[in-house]
Amino acid sequence: MRLSDDGKTLLKVDESDIIAGSCQIPAGVTTIESCAFAECANLQTITISEGVTTIGRGAFAKCSNLQKIALPDGIRSIGTFAFMECSSLETIILPAGMTTIDSMMFCSCSSLQRVTLPAEVTTIGIGAFAGCRSLETITLPAGLKTIDTAAFRNCTNLQSLMIPAGVESIDDSAFEGCKKLTWITIDSDDPKLGQIVALLPKGLINKIILKNSYTEVIWPQDLQLASTHSSPPSDKNYSFFQVDRQYASGAMVENEEKQEIEKPVIKY
């Protein structure tokens, strides 16, 4: 393991520094240099010590067996490509205080299923989560302003999303290739509702559902007829919602077992 002369910057880690899949970062380190752990195939878990404030560009890139990483709240900056192609990483909790998810930070983390973003995040950068094929849902913080180019491109299992009220910019390619993205929730009481809808790429407009205007669909046992539990909508393309169930639009609805039911009869 190589450190700077003052011991505050971890410059490079070798495979020999990794014992039983883990590596201990020395006390006093405040910065993990760019590519410090890059391509350490034996690294499986790591706890970043308190006092570290900066993780450099590509610091853990291509650590293909890294499954778990604990980040202290003192971290304020994580560079581009920091965890790119960490293909075994399943969960990440980002520390409070971070304001930007930098470009390509988790690009091609193909096993990533759960991400916790801090409330302070205002920008999700270019390709930040592109190619995270196992990601099914993500909670975007209320203060988010920008979803940049290809931010979630080819997240092929991403199914649901809620757009916060303060969003000001969504790139046309932000959700490109998200083949399973079924619905996008927007608060119907949001005074900026129209502006947020206008920001969405055209291909996502028909996936919008308003948070406070769900209509429950009640299925009888024979699954032959569905009836609405509240006032019927006038728009025949209305998106039906079974409480605590995923919605489907138009003539496609799912039952409790998530089995797709083709062309159900909808009773208004």
* CA–CA distance, 44 with 67 (Å, rounded to integer): 5
Q: Poorest-confidence range of 16-20, 95-99, 241-245?
A: 241-245
Domains and CATH numbers, the chain: 1-89 (3.80.10.10), 99-224 (3.80.10.10)
Which of the pair, 139 or 61, is modelled with greater confidence? Answer: 61
pLDDT for the residue numbered 160: 84
Residue 258 Ramachandran class (φ > 0 left, ψ -120 to 50 alpha, else beta) = left
pLDDT for the residue numbered 183: 78
pLDDT in tens, 223-256: 444 443 333 344 444 344 333 333 333 333 344 4
Mean pLDDT of 36-40: 96
Say if residues 268 and 228 touch (Cβ distance below 8 Å).
Answer: yes
Angle in degrees, CA 158, 160, 163, rounded to 5: 115
Using the predicted structure, report yes or no on whether residue 130 has a pLDDT greater than 70.
yes
The model's pTM: 0.76
pLDDT in tens, 49-65: 889 999 999 999 999 99
pLDDT in tens, 149-201: 999 999 999 988 888 888 888 898 999 999 888 878 776 555 556 666 666 76
pLDDT above 90 coverage of the chain, percent? 53
Say if residues 199 and 177 touch (Cβ distance below 8 Å).
Answer: no
pLDDT for the residue numbered 186: 74
- The 3-state secondary structure of the chain reads CEECCCCCEEEECCHHHCECCECCCCCCCCEECCCCCCCCCCCCEEECCCCCCEECCCCCCCCCCCCEEECCCCCCEECCCCCCCCCCCCEEECCCCCCEECCCCCCCCCCCCEEECCCCCCEECCCCCCCCCCCCEECCCCCCCEECCCCCCCCCCCCEEECCCCCCEECCCCCCCCCCCCEEEECCCCCCHHHHHHHCCHHHHHHEEECCCCCEEECCCCCCEEEECCCCCCCCCCEEECCCCCCEECCEEECCCCCEEECCEEEC
Say if residues 156 and 179 touch (Cβ distance below 8 Å).
Answer: yes
pLDDT in tens, 195-219: 666 667 666 766 666 655 544 444 4
Q: What is the mean pLDDT of the chain?
A: 79
